[in-house]
Amino acid sequence: MVTFLETFNKIAIEEINKRDLLMIIEALDYTGKNKNNQDFIDLKDSMLRQLCSLAETNEEEFLSLLEK
């Protein structure tokens, strides 16, 4: 039997389009830098590391893909 949490975990990336994902990453970066809040920068970096790992690419290539 599949639980709600297992279903929720599967939805994560598939339901977010590239434009929105890029906007989230940029918002975390902007807020972290302009509010001097390292937590936002750390969250952005962690998300990017995980996404790049899933996509089997580096950060530069991943962000380039999102911008297309």
Mind listing the pLDDT tens digit for each residue in 13-60?
Answer: 667 889 999 999 999 999 999 999 999 999 999 999 999 998 899 999
Count the domains in the chain: 1
Of residues 52 and 7, more confidence is placed in: 52
- Domain membership flag for residue 11: no
- Domain membership flag for residue 9: no
Q: pLDDT confidence of 68, banded at 50, 70, 90?
A: confident
HEC string for the chain: CCCHHHHHHHHCCCCCCHHHHHHHHHHHHHHHHHCCCHHHHHHHHHHHHHHHHHHCCCHHHHHHHHHC
Q: What separation in angstroms does the CA of 57 have from each of 28, 32, 62, 64?
A: 21, 24, 6, 11
Note down the domain range covering 42.
16-67
- Domain membership flag for residue 7: no
d(CA 39, CA 6): 27
